[in-house]
Chain A
């Protein structure tokens, strides 16, 4: 599973990084009126959209946006979530209670309506998408990290370290962090999918960054133009790309968390 994920990811990474060299043109500049809504040809590999823009170019540049948003969103979400989870788990007591109440509250807010509202209010842009994703998903990471910290706290070595006078700082960075980092990594992989999803769905609903064209936006234009029943070539590339990238990271995430539980697979006879 993990292998499949890595391969797919590599393909898209290549597309994203080498975009300008892959026979692409500016994905946003409208073309000649006669070239609108053309099916795939040797000139336009994936055909053109309603403004005669090359869909192949849009697809390629779309991967840049998807991966960018995905990684940045994962970074901020896991960053905030880990920080809160660490603090809550390690210090416990009232601080933990208060933080967990906040976490519970956030977790109950419906994600898409909140994303829509925030995007509508803050204005559509990639950075706002990243911000919005972090706001919605940090509690999940916080909970996961916190329970890891709690179980680590119970373990003997923390007691032992304390008894030889290790201060809080040392404990956090020396003992707890190394055990938390792999989990952070697993969370990050999952959050990439959330980031990609959030950008895609907001773009699809018309709240995408007008300075870019992402896969979600391609679908938005297609949908608005009624292409769903007519111009399949417009729709298939972004749909396939979104599916592949999300599946890739989901599989990767599962593979990573399986690896983190080494005894698990053996015991299960997998």
Chain B
């Protein structure tokens, strides 16, 4: 698999470069803050001069810009230090790590459902382009995916939680209920439905349209007719020949889409008060907790890069043209 090894190395190197670039961007953005960064970070206008100076040193805000940058890099890469949250007086990293699992639970569940259902519907719509079914699916998907996640969240909330009372209004678990074990899991799952649903909307619409488009390209290819010429059943042609090829471009685009999954998460967690890093971002905005915001941006951006890397590596593996290389 020589072709693949080279491919993989290039992708990993690319990801590393991108991450470094993001770190730089992150640094620069927060130096764009007009006015005194420390005052802004502090929030409390009555802080004494020595305290401010101490804070400056603590946060590496002394010295030239270049020195600050180096200090920042040092803290980040050698110590995993993202700074300290002002509101919580805890290291940012700790806060983030606390809430990351909840976000992962929400995201992974929602994306898994969206991708599976979306790809399935999109494949059928693309296979049967031009039919009523196809037209309906396209219109519905377009409508669904263009509406922002937080609006979906509000709609779902009003309809299913407020009006119909079928699901809870927010949070991850019912407070004070003291569930454990299976009961706890069921409770969490119950709370997961609406915020997950809000995230699923955009993603599923996107996958329907993507898969449909990829399938439309595949359907025109000669190898589909050739497969039929072998006397194979339609459903098998769809599965073994069409789908396997249509998947390829869909996997590629998944990478780009992951950046938007992040948006969905932030919006959904905010509306439903789901205790993850998305909600943390909202809270930090409200409280002007800049170190957390800066740290979160880094976390989100780096996650997207890493997820993209994984997707690229998977793609390289499933596309034989990359896995194996050219004509001999």
Contacts and interface: CB of A to CB of B under 8 A. Distances in A.
A10 interface: no
A205 interface: yes
A117 B288 CA distance: 11
B139 A1 contact: yes
A32 B33 CA distance: 38
Given A108-B308, A112-B262, A120 B267 contact: no
A251 B151 CA distance: 18
Interface in A240-256: 242-243, 246-247, 250-251, 254
Interface in B152-170: 154-155, 157-158, 161-162, 169
A117 B282 contact: no
B142 A250 contact: yes
B61 to A, nearest CB: 15
Nearest to A4: B139
B151 A242 contact: yes
Nearest to A236: B158
Interface in B281-306: 281-282, 285-286, 288, 290, 293-294, 296-297, 300-301, 304-305
Given A118-B29, A246-B147, A268-B130, A207 B285 contact: yes
B151 A243 contact: yes
Interface string B29-49: 110111000000000000000
A226 B296 CA distance: 26
Given A118-B29, A250-B143, A269-B130, A113 B296 contact: yes
Contacts of A120: 285, 288, 290, 293
A268 B129 contact: yes
B146 A250 contact: yes
B143 A206 contact: no
Contacts of B297: 110, 113-114, 116-117
Given A117-B293, A117-B297, A110 B262 contact: yes
A132 to B, nearest CB: 12
B22 A109 contact: yes
Nearest to B296: A113
Contacts of B260: 110-111
For A108, A110, A116, which residue has the most chain B Cβ atoms within 10 angstroms? Answer: A110
Interface in A120-138: 120-123
B103 interface: no
Interface stretch (A62-70, A167-175, A227-235): A227-235
16 contacts: A108-B304, A109-B301, A110-B304, A113-B281, A116-B293, A117-B29, A121-B33, A200-B148, A204-B150, A206-B286, A207-B285, A228-B157, A228-B162, A228-B169, A239-B151, A246-B147
B266 interface: yes
Given A113-B300, A201-B267, A206-B285, A107 B18 contact: no
Given A109-B301, A117-B293, 18 more contacts: A108-B308, A109-B304, A110-B259, A110-B297, A111-B259, A113-B300, A116-B266, A118-B29, A123-B34, A197-B148, A200-B148, A205-B270, A229-B169, A232-B162, A239-B151, A247-B147, A268-B129, A268-B130
A108 B259 contact: yes
Interface residues of A, number: 42
Interface in B12-34: 18, 21-22, 25, 29-30, 32-34
Nearest to A224: B286
For A113, A118, A121, A235, which residue has the most chain B Cβ atoms within 10 angstroms? Answer: A113
Interface string A250-270: 110010000000000000111
Contacts of B151: 200, 239, 242-243
A235 B301 contact: no
Contacts of B130: 268-270
B99 to A, nearest CB: 15
B102 interface: no
For A108, A205, A228, which residue has the most chain B Cβ atoms within 10 angstroms? Answer: A108
A116 B142 CA distance: 26
B147 to A, nearest CB: 5
B245 interface: no
A247 B143 contact: yes
Contacts of A112: 262-263, 266-267
